[in-house]
Amino acid sequence: MEAKQTFFDEAMALRRLWHRFGGETGLHRHFLSSWPKDPQIEPLRANEVSRFVHTRLGHERERLLGPLVIRWLENITHKDLEDVANRMRVSSIEMTAVANSGHPSSSTSAAELMATLFFHEMRYDVKNPRSEHADRFILSKGHACPILYAAWEEAGLLSHDDVLTLRKINSDLEGHPTPRLNFIDVATGSLGQGLSCAAGMAYTGKYIDKASYRVFCLLGDGESAEGAVWEAASFASHYKLDNLVAIVDVNRLGQSQATQLGHHVEIYRDRFAAFGFETIVIDGHNIEQIAAALKTARDIKDKPTAIIAKTHKGQGIDGVADQDNWHGKPVPIEKVEAIKARYHGSRKGDVEPKKPIEDAPKVDLHIGSIKMSDPPAYTKGDKVATRAAYGTALAKLGKANPRVIGLDGDTKNSTFSEKLLKEKPDQFIECFIAEQNLVGVAVGAQCRGRTIPFTSTFAAFFTRAADQLRMAAVSFANLKCTGSHVGVSIGEDGPSQMALEDLALFRAIPDSTVFYPTDAVSAERATEMAANIQGIVFIRTGRPALPVLYANDEKFEAGKAKVLRENVKDSIVLVGAGVTLYECLKAADELEKSGVHACVIDPFTIKPIDGETIVKHAKRTGGKVVTVEDHFAAGGIGETVSAAVSDAGIRVRSLHVSGVPRSGPPDDLVDMFGISARHIVEAVKKFH
């Protein structure tokens, strides 16, 4: 019996000393030299022990050691993980108590899930959390970030002093996680969005990187009421993302009351199964069940896995566990010591994360030097829609750079992103009619610099994903969005398809860039420039085919306007973009007949706006500017220009779409809603 216990001890030494002795060779030497000279086990030394070391407790371990030994080893591992979970639980309680704010009850329900995931299943490098080879983790229930910070404390990346800075103004350990931390890929906290980002990562891993890394997403049960979760689930199933594991923390309680489904885990199971997931229901506080579920998920092929974990909110906190009205409330600081004493026996141990499989390709996006395969090739005067020119440019970019990808929401034949699909089908992702997921997948795909994603749909439909775009900014995402079918000039399709708020939406995003190209040449150059700008970029493209204005070799810069028409006799400045720039040119011709000369400016970018050029020409023309836009007044060109020239004492008159438009021929609608050349002429004549 003593010899058998010695065998157990040495087996555990193998697991715990692997890293200490530098891998297989060093550990093998240590293991054999320390093996006891006991006749009952001596025969193992030359063969079984060697193979035991070689397999690292692998698939042959049960045959070599016997089921009793394996069971004993697993129990020890599970006890270690229970200790890890309890230390993480205590840390999350303490850090929120010190901060006097946060969500300890939402964190403690996930302690066992996180401990098993981080220290038994996931592969990652503590010293390089954003390694391209490492597994990805997204905490979709972002308010539970204390348990995530506790996991990285346990891993050794953060100190205990670090986590006690939670929510302080000078700390990057914010109340909901953001990529200011090097172990966070996407910001979460606006619920329902994490699974889309995870699906984008998983798609990239399976089909673009073709690598071994896997993606894990922890969701809350309350956020499963969000439709975006099911958009993501549909996408993940359609593309057979077997490298994706969704874990739902079913802790029964929401913010203000019980969730819709409470602890009816079978309903969550059936819903995910209906979307094509392999589903596993477990006790989310049972380490053995969690580990077994994760192992099962590892072996699933051709579909994603959903682990439905029944848990209790506030688990481990007396008087809080499974009790309502504790959401977002820290445990009183005076009670923390008692909780720490309760788990005093939870030792540190030697549980360590697994190392990544290093098979993801190195990627250098060369941002700043990305070029199209060919320059624009148009003839002045030819009529080309800017949406078509965008598609041409996207295909050229994809041809020149395999990491430029396109995503669309089943509008690719209208946005012309299908040109990339035809040129480089492996660089195109069809996301179908699910715009929130479209943006979320793109955000996931760009993480860790794996791709430069261009998302395309009707500009009006991006408003459906406004929150995803807002959170993309919080994630510091490198995301490109192109919206077509803008304004009343789309014509007969009517107001449901007319984007009249899109400039306002994208201008409001922090550090965004907004292009509004007028012709095919400028549209191609805007697309090329977007690939070289780090951050969120919007390109507004139109439906009408309009004459090419610029030479193919014309140089463009973000924030630099183009002056298309000027004369020393100018007495007014006209600013327009897209269809309204052509209306400005027509109006200038008409005004000239009556002896009034107008300077016509194409802003090219609405953000940043070239206020310097506009002010320069406005001052020489009497300080009067008329802006014309196929957009509502709020957040559009008029407001942008007015803000840019306000300090110079320049007066601005804005022509824009007002009210709810209707179906009709494009030219008739442009005139009906007051942005045609006729209305521009009238506005100039009345501008005193």
Q: Following CA atoms 434, 533, 475, 125 in sequence, which dihedral angle do they give, to the nearest 10 degrees?
A: 110
Helices (H) and strands (E) in the chain, counts: 27, 19
Residue 621 backbone phi and psi in degrees, to 5: -115, 20
Contact 228, 199 (CB under 8 A): no
Instruction: List residues bridging with 309 in a β-sheet.
Output: 249, 282
Burial class (CB in 10 A: 0-12, 13-18, 19+), 448: middle
Q: Determine the Cα–Cα distance for residues 486 and 483; give it in Å rounded to an integer.
A: 7
Which one-letter amino acid corresponds to residue 284? G
Burial class (CB in 10 A: 0-12, 13-18, 19+), 2: exposed
Rounded to 5°, angle at Cα 50 from 47 and 51: 85
Residues in Cβ contact with 47 at an 8 Å cutoff, skipping those fewer than 6 apart: none
What SS3 class is residue 147? helix
Q: Determine the Cα–Cα distance for residues 199 and 431; give it in Å rounded to an integer.
A: 11
Q: Determine the Cα–Cα distance for residues 272 and 246; give it in Å rounded to an integer.
A: 10
Residue 289 backbone phi and psi in degrees, to 5: -70, -40
Q: At what angle do helices 637-645 and 611-620 cross, to 10 degrees?
A: 70
Residue 18 backbone phi and psi in degrees, to 5: -50, -55
Residues in Cβ contact with 502 at an 8 Å cutoff, skipping those fewer than 6 apart: 459, 460, 462, 463, 483, 486, 538, 540, 631
Q: Determine the Cα–Cα distance for residues 57 and 65; give it in Å rounded to an integer.
A: 9
What SS3 class is residue 353? coil
Which one-letter amino acid corresponds to residue 342? R
Residues in Cβ contact with 350 at an 8 Å cutoff, skipping those fewer than 6 apart: 15, 16, 80
Number of Cβ within a 10 Å radius of residue 168: 12
Residue 53 backbone phi and psi in degrees, to 5: -65, -45
DSSP 8-state symbol, 155? H
Burial class (CB in 10 A: 0-12, 13-18, 19+), 303: middle
588: left (phi over 0), alpha (psi -120 to 50) or beta: alpha
Q: Which residue is associated with the tokens 């690939």?
A: 531
683: left (phi over 0), alpha (psi -120 to 50) or beta: alpha
Question: Sign of dihedral through CA atoms 26, 31, 37, 40?
Answer: negative
473: left (phi over 0), alpha (psi -120 to 50) or beta: alpha
Which one-letter amino acid corresponds to residue 545? A
What SS3 class is residue 428? strand
Q: Which tokens sit at 484?
A: 């077509």
> Catalytic site residue 435?
yes
Alpha helix stretches (DSSP H) within 164-312: 194-203, 227-238, 265-274, 287-299
Question: Which member of 94, 418, 423, 435 is catalytic?
Answer: 435
User: Which residues does the annotation mark as catalytic?
Assistant: 435
